[in-house]
A and B are shown apart, each in its own frame.
Chain A
Amino acid sequence: MNRLIPLFVFFALVGLLGFGIYWNKHHEMSEVPSPLIGKAAPDFTLPLLYEPEKTISGKQLLGAPYLLNVFGSWCPTCQYEHPILTQQIKPLGIKLIGLDWKDEPDDAKRWIAQFGNPYDALITDRDGRAGIDFGVYMAPETFLVDAKGVVRYKRIGMFTEENIRDELLPKIAQMQREASR
């Protein structure tokens, strides 16, 4: 029996290392889970991109769920995500707010003109303060906020067909079940 102990230790190590490989393949190592999930979204009042004298605040958005998509004209991945927003997120019928993060409004307008506007509203966070309150650290990032203003889900990086199907849609379904109850 004692002779087998090294063998057990060996298999335990193989298991541990194997788990490590599996884990790193299925998780983006640089993803920092948001502490905001399940909590009220931070309040913000930000100017509209096309009418900077007008603002939208978090309080105004209460009453219906919305997706807050953080992007920037300087962000290459946002270009890849853009057609997915147009073709797959917009048809979901949830209000899609674009947060132009740490960007020059003129650059953002040019970017939107070039690629199209999938957003129901576009707001700007030029100095990145609102982004910090939301714990944004890269672009794109997307927050799903429910009708009561609670953050339900955060996507770090771009939406893909897989994570829309496996993560976003179940969250939306869960929200709708709760709302209809």
Chain B
Amino acid sequence: MNRLLAFATAALLLGLFALDAFAIDPLPFKDRSEEVRFQNLTKQLRCLVCQNQDLADSDAPLAGDLRKQVFEMMRAGKSDAQIKEYLVARYNDFVLYDPPLKPGTWLLWFTPLALVLIGAFAVVRIVRARGRLAVAAHAGVKDNVNSGDDDW
């Protein structure tokens, strides 16, 4: 029984490793720096099929094709910017995880800043208003004390 269990576990683990190896198609990098550049670039690109994954991670068939395309363009001497431009021309800004700053994305970029400013403004106003109230209340207490004195 134990043996069977151990065998099953080993088979399962082997299967998992096999899946893992299957997911990433090996590309013939010529050195470490090329591989690092490739990894870095594909991490900035979105897989169109499973849209919450980057190109580096995804094992959708299209992602494999696009990785190959990126690799070939790198080999052809294209810069990272040129490769991104190539993909944006076909798949829209959506392929970039980091959306570029342009009029169409102002809302995306500046809304959080605007919200923080509005919040800060509200906090300042509330604190000031409370400060005035506290002073007024304090003055009121003094007045009472004074008027108490006056009663004497």
Contacts and interface: CB of A to CB of B under 8 A. Distances in A.
Interface of A: 30, 32-36, 102, 127-129, 132-135, 137-138
Contact of A138 (B49, B65, B90): B49
Interface in B23-73: 48-49, 51, 61-62, 65-66, 69
A135 to B, nearest CB: 4
A134 B94 contact: no
Interface of B: 48-49, 51, 61-62, 65-66, 69, 88-92, 94
A143 to B, nearest CB: 13
A102 B61 contact: yes
Nearest to A36: B90
Contacts of B88: 35
B65 A128 contact: yes
Given A128-B65, A137-B48, A32 B94 contact: yes
Contacts of A33: 92
Nearest to A138: B49
A129 B90 CA distance: 12
Given A127-B65, A132-B65, A132-B66, A35 B90 contact: yes
Given A32-B91, A129-B65, A138-B48, 7 more contacts: A35-B88, A35-B92, A36-B90, A127-B65, A135-B90, A135-B91, A137-B91
21 contacts: A30-B51, A32-B48, A32-B91, A33-B92, A34-B92, A35-B88, A35-B89, A35-B90, A102-B61, A102-B62, A127-B65, A128-B65, A129-B65, A133-B90, A135-B90, A135-B91, A137-B49, A137-B62, A137-B91, A138-B48, A138-B49
A34 to B, nearest CB: 7
Contacts, number: 36
A129 B72 CA distance: 12
Given A32-B92, A102-B61, A137-B91, A132 B69 contact: yes
Nearest to B61: A102
A72 B49 CA distance: 16
Contacts of A138: 48-49
A56 to B, nearest CB: 21
A132 B89 CA distance: 10
Contacts of B48: 32, 137-138
Contacts of A30: 51
Q: Which of B49, B69, B92 has the most CB of A within 10 A?
A: B92
Contacts of B51: 30
Contacts of B62: 102, 128, 137
Contacts of A132: 65-66, 69, 90
A176 to B, nearest CB: 28
Contacts of A129: 65
B126 to A, nearest CB: 11
A33 B91 CA distance: 8
A129 B51 CA distance: 20
A38 to B, nearest CB: 13
A138 B90 CA distance: 13
